[in-house]
Amino acid sequence: MQKSTKEEMVLVIMKPDCVQRNLVGEIVHRFERKGLQIAGMKMVQLGDVVLDEHYKHHKEKDFFGSLDGREADRHLFYERLVPLAAMAAVADMMPLTGENRAIVFEGLRVMREGTNAPLGLRLLLEHLKLPDPTGKDLAFLLGPLLNAPGRLGDATPALLLLTATSKKESMKLSGDLVRMNEERKGLVKENFRRILEMVPQQNDIERDRILCISAEGLPHGVTGIVATRIKNEFRRPVMIVLVDDGKGEGSARSVDSLDMVKAVDACADLLEKYGGHHQAVGVTVRPENIPALFERLKKTVADRLQEIPEPEIQLDAELKSKELTLETLADISRLEPFGKGNPLPKFAMFEAPLAEIRQIGDAKQHIRLRIGQNARQAVTAVGWNMVDKLAGLRRRVDAAFELSRNVWQGRTDLQLILEDIRPSEEGPGP
> Of 135, 152, 182, which marks where a domain is finished?
182
Instruction: Tell me the backbone φ, ψ of residue 359, rounded to 5 degrees.
Output: -100, 135
> Strand, coil or helix: what is 280?
strand
Is 1 a domain residue? Answer: no
Can you tell me the distance from the alpha carbon of 354 to that of 336, in angstroms, rounded to the nearest whole number? 31
| Residues 264 and 347 occupy one common structural domain | no
Rounded Cα gap, residues 179 and 293, in angstroms: 38
Structural domain boundaries, residue 226? 203-304
Q: Are residues 95 and 16 in the same domain?
A: yes
How much is the pLDDT for 57?
40
Same domain, 280 and 395: no
Report the candidate in 137, 136, 138, 162 with the shortest Cα–Cα distance to residue 149: 162
Q: For residue 189, tell me if it sits in a domain.
A: no
Asked whether residue 190 is domain-assigned, the answer is no
State the pLDDT at residue 132. Answer: 86
Contact 257, 307 (CB under 8 A): no
**pLDDT score for 3:** 31
Domain count, the chain: 3
**Distance, CA of 136 to CA of 345 (rounded, Å):** 12
C-alpha triplet 405, 182, 337: angle, nearest 5°? 35
Distance CA 254, CA 258 (A): 6
Phi and psi at residue 101, to the nearest 5°: -60, -45
pLDDT tens profile 217-235: 888 888 999 999 999 989 9
What is the predicted pLDDT for the residue at 179?
Answer: 93
- For residues 328 and 221, membership in a common domain is answered with no
Give the mean pLDDT of the chain. Answer: 80
State whether 128 and 253 are in the same domain: no
CA distance 272 to 286: 7
Q: Which of 251, 283, 304 is the last residue of a domain?
A: 304
pLDDT tens by residue, 379-408: 999 999 888 888 878 889 999 999 998 887
Structural contact between residues 150 and 181, judged by C-beta atoms closer than 8 angstroms: no
Q: Which of 94, 142, 140 is nearest to 342 (CA)?
A: 94
Q: Residue 245: inside a domain, yes or no?
A: yes
The predicted structure's pLDDT at residue 38: 37
Domain shared by 273 and 324, yes or no: no
Which residues have a Cβ under 8 Å from the Cβ of 123 and sit 6 or more positions away?
167, 170, 171, 174
Q: b or e along 154-193 (b: 16 or more beta carbons within 10 Å of the residue's beta carbon)?
A: ebebbbbbbbbeeeebbbbbbebbeebbeebeebbeebbe
Q: How far is 251 from 269, CA to CA, in rounded Å?
A: 17
Query: Do residues 167 and 118 touch, judged by C-beta distance below 8 A?
Result: no
Same domain, 292 and 323: no
293-to-46, 251, 270, 413 alpha-carbon distances in Å = 30, 13, 6, 51
30 and 60 belong to one structural domain = yes
Q: Which residue numbers in the chain have pLDDT < 50? A: 1-72, 427-430
Q: Which of 304, 331, 351 is the last residue of a domain?
A: 304
pLDDT of residue 53: 37
Strands 379-383 and 411-423: parallel
Given a contact cutoff of 8 angstroms between Cβ atoms, the answer to whether 215 and 242 are in contact is yes
Give the angle 52-142-236 at the CA atoms, nearest 5°: 100
Asked if residues 236 and 207 have their Cβ atoms less than 8 Å apart, the reply is no
CATH number at residue 370: 2.40.50.460
pLDDT for residue 196:
94
Same domain, 121 and 143: yes
The verdict on residue 193 lying in a domain is no
| Structural domain contains residue 192 | no
Indicate if 242 and 296 belong to the same structural domain.
Answer: yes
Report the Cα 379 to chain-centroid distance in Å.
27
Q: What is the CA radius of gyration of the chain?
A: 24
Residues 296 and 351 occupy one common structural domain: no
Does residue 324 lie in a domain region?
yes
Peptide bond into 345 cis (omega under 30): no
Q: In angstroms, how far is CA 312 from the centroid of its own chain? A: 20
Q: Does residue 342 belong to any structural domain of this protein? A: yes
Q: 222: how many CB neighbours lie within 10 A of its CB?
A: 24
For residues 36 and 97, state if they share a domain: yes
Q: What is the CATH number of the domain that holds 293?
A: 3.10.310.30
Q: Give the DSSP letter of residue 34.
A: T
